[in-house]
Amino acid sequence: MSLSVAIRKSFPAFKLDVAFEAESETLGFLGASGCGKSLTMRCIAGLEKPDEGRIVVAGTVFFDSEQGINLTPQQRKTALLFQNYMLFPNMTVAENIAAGIPRGTPKDEVHRLVDAQLKRFDLLGFGKRYPLRLSGGQQQRVALARMLAARPQILMLDEPFSALDAHLKSTLELDLLDLFEQFDGTILYVSHDIDEAFRFCDRIAIIENGRLEDIASASEILARPKTFATLKVSGVKNISPAVPVTAHTVKAYDWGIELVCKDEVPEGLQYCAVRASYLRIAAENETINVFDCEVRRTSDSRFEREVLLALTDTGAALRWRIDKRSVAQSILPERGQCLRIHIPTESVNLVCH
């Protein structure tokens, strides 16, 4: 087991209580700002001390409240990349990279490790520059180089692209994917962007109000959210309290409609949900989960049209997202149109908590 965490830490208005395990994989932490994602990583790195619990990395006990073990950040050999990179402004690029190498390492080995990271991150020729003379992308590469020069047992990245523009972010994402493929160990990746988490992570942990609500593969998070927190964080726009009607039918209270579901309705059902991209115009012969709707509003991004629908019978709102590249411009829905909308039975998510 590469990583095992079970910790609790209380503040006056907040309590962190998380437990999870990870192998040699990239595990994402997804949740709103202030939910405990970064705090969890700071506890693993030794920058925060949990009130109780246990943290074990690659067989080494980092923290154990019962045994009185609490290794220093230097002893833990972790690498944590902050949002602002935390470079030393009075040190050159080469000196910043060398700062991550353990003390006592022979000078020749330090030079070799620094040169290797400069080459890996396309920073040759920048070794004598200071951070203020670097672009945001170059600063990030220096921070990553410093992390790897330390040869850590675990990599942790806290929203590493939050300060970058879209073009630079796209370029550096590819570099980071290459880095992840080369690293043999656990990588923890904090994000509040579901698409970013999907691109980087093998599994995703959903954090809400200091608690781990769900943990699953990226594909499972998308296809079958298991909790209300997962529905919200993974971008589901249509969510309603629901109760069973039959073994395969539920009533969605907020929408005032009944929906047939492919899955059997579970005991303890609380919510039903449908991703906005799963709605579509009904075929003439379709009758199940077909509802008359009026287009109340539309909004376009580069590749998608967001549509606000109103159910004709109840006036309740549903959100519909259409990939503009997959349909002709002439048939995109417009404000004021009346349409028959189909919700596929297999697209209805049923959640118990």
CATH of the domain at 264: 2.40.50.100
- Shared domain for 78 and 178, answered yes or no, is yes
Do 191 and 276 lie in one domain? The reply is: no
User: What local confidence, expressed as pLDDT, does residue 74 receive?
Assistant: 83
Residue 290 contacts residue 341 (beta carbons within 8 Å): yes
Is the separation of the CB atoms in 88 and 99 below 8 Å? yes
Q: Which secondary-structure segment (H or E) carries 52?
A: strand 52-57
Model pLDDT, residue 167: 66
Which pLDDT score is estimated for 156?
A: 92
pLDDT of residue 153: 84
| Complete edge-to-edge strand list for the sheet that includes strand 257-260 | 257-260, 249-252, 238-246, 271-274, 349-351
- Residue 140 is predicted with a pLDDT of 81
Same domain? For 36 and 176 the reply is yes
Is the pLDDT at 161 greater than 80, yes or no?
no
Which pLDDT value is given to residue 165? 63
Given pLDDT bands bounded at 50, 70 and 90, which one contains residue 83?
low
Length of the chain: 353
Residue 170 pLDDT exceeds 90: no
Percent of the chain with pLDDT over 90: 68
Return the amino acid letter for 25: E
**Is 180 inside any structural domain?**
yes
Residue 214 has pLDDT above 80, yes or no: yes
Q: Is the same domain home to 207 and 332?
A: no
DSSP 231-277: HHHTT--EEEEEEEEETTEEEETTTTEEEE-SSPPPTT--EEEE-GG
- Tokens representing 319 are 């959100």
User: What's residue 249's pLDDT?
Assistant: 98
> 242: closest CA among 229, 233, 230, 254?
254
If one counts every other C-beta atom within 10 angstroms of the C-beta of residue 23, the result is 12
Q: Is the pLDDT of residue 82 over 80?
A: no
Domain count for the chain, please give it.
2
For residue 163, what pLDDT is reported? 60
Predicted local distance difference test score (pLDDT) of residue 42: 94
The CATH number for 126's domain is 3.40.50.300
pLDDT of residue 207 exceeding 60: yes
Partners of 64 in the β-ladder: 54, 69
Same domain for 242 and 148: no
Same-domain check for residues 170 and 296: no
% pLDDT > 70, the chain: 97
CB atoms within 10 A of CB 288: 11
Looking at 204, 226, 248, the residue that finishes a domain is 226
pTM of the model: 0.85
Are 218 and 275 part of one and the same domain? no
Closest CA relative to residue 221, chosen from 197, 239, 200, 241? 197
In this predicted structure, what is the pLDDT of residue 75? 87
What lies within 8 Å, CB to CB, of 115 at 6+ separation is: none
Regarding whether 291 and 187 lie in a shared domain, the answer is: no
DSSP 300: E
Asked if residue 337 and residue 197 are part of one domain, the reply reads no
Residue that finishes a domain, picked among 208, 226, 244: 226
Domain that holds residue 342: 236-351
Residue 231 included in any domain:
no
114 and 81 within one domain: yes
Beta bridge pairs of residue 257: 252
Which residue spans within 107-237 are E strands per DSSP? 154-158, 186-191, 203-208, 211-217
Segment 229-269, tens digit of pLDDT: 999 988 899 999 999 999 999 999 999 999 999 999 999 99
Q: Is residue 327 part of a domain?
A: yes
- Banded pLDDT at 166 (limits 50, 70, 90): low
Q: CA-CA distance, 347 to 13, in Å (whole number)? A: 38
Question: For 52-70, what is each residue's pLDDT tens digit?
Answer: 999 999 899 999 999 999 9
Q: Cα(242)–Cα(254) distance, rounded to whole angstroms? A: 8
> Is the confidence at residue 1, as pLDDT, over 60?
no
Residues 262, 149 share a domain: no
Are residues 44 and 190 located together in one domain of the fold? yes
Domain boundary among 192, 226, 260: 226
Place of tokens 């208005």: 13
